[in-house]
Structure formats: structure tokens, C-alpha cells
Amino acid sequence: MDKVALNKLADYLSNLNPKGFYMGAWIARGNYSGILNNSVLRKAVKNDFKCGMAACIGGHAAILFPRRLKIRNGLYTTNDQFYAEHAFAKAFGLCTHHAEEITLDHNFETPKQGAKFIRNLIKENPSCCTPKGIEAEKINELTENEAN
């Protein structure tokens, strides 16, 4: 777990204007999916957000850490083609489960809620977010895929 980078992201989110944050849905330029009734998403379409996505934690992380996360085809990704929560996990040294909790599961209403969750996760320092825990997760995924 990259605690320094996660703290930087939490600080960034704590100071972010809530009007530039929305996790109820995400879009990329050109992928509107009938959800343009939200003003934050309309601004994203008009290219008001540098990441070109809705204002989610993953999109803001890509703005803050452009060497770790890139925006390709409307998704944040790493250079080795991990996408979305898998890219977020790799970029911050998290297990996929905790990356999903930050980027997808909780649907935070404000950036401060997201920041608080990230800070609590850093304090908990779960064993699944250590190099050994992440390696075990990869082995479990491979085993599950082979079984299917």
C-alpha cells in the first residue's frame, strides 16, 4: 500500500469542490448512456474535467498522478493495460477488493467522504494490501479462472 500517495489523494479530495465530484455514474467523452441529467456529467462531456470522465475518485487520481494512471478510451489505466479498479489497485498498491471499495462500491456523495474512507483504510493497513496479500489475491484469481 502506497500510504504517501493515498494520503496525497485524500488531501486532494478533502480540498476538492463538491460540485466537481460525482460517483453516481461515470461516462467518457462520447459515452453518454442517457445519464446527462446530472450537471457534473454534463460538464465532463463539455471537457471541463481534465480527465474527460465524470468526476469520480479514479478520474481525479488520474489527474493527480498522471505517471501512474492514464485515461484511455474513457477509462483510467496503467501502462500495462490494467483498467479501472485493477489499474487503481496497481497504482496504489492495493488489493482489488479495496480498490473497488474506493472507486466503485461506496458511491461517496462528497469528496470528503472518499477522503475519510481512504484515511481509515490507511490506518487499518489490511494485510490483503501488502505485497504478499496482493500476490495471494492473484493466485486465487488464477485458480478461480482455471476452475471455470
Residue 52 has a pLDDT of 45
Q: List, for residues 32-60, the tens digit of each pLDDT value.
A: 454 445 555 555 545 444 444 445 788 78
Selection from 75, 55, 76, 54 nearest residue 67 by Cα? 76
pLDDT at residue 121 tops 60: yes
User: Which of residues 126 and 1 earns the better pLDDT score?
Assistant: 1
Q: What is the pTM of this model?
A: 0.74
Residue 66 has a pLDDT of 83
Q: What distance in Å separates the CA atoms of residue 114 and residue 24, rounded to the nearest whole number? A: 13
Average pLDDT score over the chain: 74
Q: How many domains does the chain have?
A: 1
Q: Domain residues for 98? A: 3-147
